[in-house]
Amino acid sequence: MQPSGRRLLLVHAHPDDETITTGGTIARYLAEGAEVTVVTCTLGEEGEVMEPRFAQLTAENADQLGGYRIGELTGALAALSDPAGPVLRPRFLGGMGRWRDSGMAGTPAADHPRAFASAPRTQADGGPLQALTRIIRDVRPQVVITYDEVGGYGHPDHIAAHLLTHAAVDAAADPEVAGEPWEVAKLYWTVTSRGDLESTLAALRGAELPGDWRVPAPEELPAHDDAAITSRIDVAPVLDRKRAALRAHATQLGVSADGAALALTNRIAQPVFAEEAYVLARGAAAPGPDGLERDLFAGVA
Ligand SMILES: [Zn+2]
């Protein structure tokens, strides 16, 4: 495989977010020879678990879930990798275990001294902003992906990852910040298209799903109006890789037998989309004839 010179960097809050939201995009750009870097901000220590066999790993029991999820993330990124290319390895913000999952809003996990969402951005020994700025300047990505302002669905760590990524893209380009500046050409938010959600949930109603799963009404899941979506990435050719990566996150989710849906511990079915949708937050859009970008690197020199 020829390296394409394209460099894509994704900033995610917990192991599994990279696959659920952007797994197809990661697999597609790896298959096309791009250099892909997935930065994960926490180990996901506060996650709930999908099956009783994992129950003793959780934060209130052995507190081993975070370490276990390093293995799951490693497996997922390997599954997304092209067999002809290098195996994508995890990269944790500040190193493995530096910042901790802050838990859902209003839980005591937010008060942990290492909680990611409340970590001072700049710290004498290197805060999240310094760590991510260094990674951006080291990787020199033309394209960066993170979440929207509400972090997709409101998790404090997702909102923190959104704010941090915007700040680090600014800091990386700032000549006043010590080091060699790097200007990211395009910054995207990973989002769900409301139109896709409605049509795929309708299809799931007739599908065979595990008995304890529930197909939600579309308004129960966060989505963006299609008019706001700037970019759509066709991931149909790599969906099998995305499904294998989803299955690697077994503590967190299940995948239906036909691979059309996944569910987290709430057992609410979510479609596995054949196109991943994005909103261009910064940079110049280069849409095609249908008004949409079909390549996140469109227009990048
Ligand atoms: Zn998450």
Q: Distance (Å, rounded) from C-alpha 255 to C-alpha 168?
A: 34
Does residue 2 register a pLDDT over 80? no
Between CA 280 and CA 297, with CA 43 as vertex, the angle to 5 degrees is 20
Q: By percentage, how much of the chain surpasses pLDDT 70?
A: 100
What is the predicted pLDDT for the residue at 125? 85
Does residue 262 register a pLDDT over 90? yes
Q: Tell me the average pLDDT of the chain.
A: 97
Query: How far does the centroid of ligand 1 lie from the alpha carbon of residue 18, in Å?
Result: 9
Does residue 190 register a pLDDT over 90? yes
What is the predicted pLDDT for the residue at 13? 98
Distances (CA, A) of 204 to 124, 207, 249: 51, 5, 22
* Residue 66 pLDDT level (bands cut at 50, 70, 90): very high
Query: How far does the centroid of ligand 1 lie from the alpha carbon of residue 32, in Å?
Result: 27
Burial of residue 226 (number of CB atoms within 10 Å: 0-12, 13-18, 19+): middle
Phi, psi of 268 (to 5 degrees): -90, 120
* Residue 179 pLDDT level (bands cut at 50, 70, 90): very high
Does residue 61 register a pLDDT over 90? yes
Q: Distance (Å, rounded) from C-alpha 52 to C-alpha 130?
A: 39
User: Under a CB-based contact definition with an 8 Å cutoff, are residues 25 and 234 in contact?
Assistant: no
Residue 249 CB partners (closer than 8 Å, separation 6+): 15, 16, 19, 69, 72, 73, 76
What is the predicted pLDDT for the residue at 176? 97
Q: Distance (Å, rounded) from C-alpha 181 to C-alpha 166?
A: 15
What is the predicted pLDDT for the residue at 3? 80
Residue 224 marked ligand-binding: no
Q: What is the mean pLDDT of residues 65-71?
A: 98
Query: How far does the centroid of ligand 1 lie from the alpha carbon of residue 51, in Å?
Result: 18
Residue 290 marked ligand-binding: no
Does residue 124 register a pLDDT over 90? no
Residue 17 marked ligand-binding: yes
* Residue 257 pLDDT level (bands cut at 50, 70, 90): very high
Query: How far does the centroid of ligand 1 lie from the alpha carbon of residue 2, in Å?
Result: 33
In 3D, which of 36, 48, 33, 35 has the Cα closest to residue 12?
A: 36
Q: What are the sequence ranges of the domains in the chain?
A: 7-282
**What are the start-end ranges of the H helices in 1-103?**
17-31, 65-80
pLDDT in tens, 79-88: 999 999 999 9
* Residue 4 pLDDT level (bands cut at 50, 70, 90): confident
* Residue 153 pLDDT level (bands cut at 50, 70, 90): confident
Does residue 105 register a pLDDT over 90? no
Query: How far does the centroid of ligand 1 lie from the alpha carbon of residue 165, in Å?
Result: 15
Q: By percentage, how much of the chain surpasses pLDDT 90?
A: 95
The two beta strands, 269-271 and 261-263, are antiparallel
Query: How far does the centroid of ligand 1 lie from the alpha carbon of residue 290, in Å?
Result: 32
Query: How far does the centroid of ligand 1 lie from the alpha carbon of residue 20, in Å?
Result: 9
CATH number of this structure's domain 7-282: 3.40.50.10320
Does residue 1 register a pLDDT over 90? no
What is the predicted pLDDT for the residue at 106? 87
Q: Distance (Å, rounded) from C-alpha 256 to C-alpha 246?
A: 11
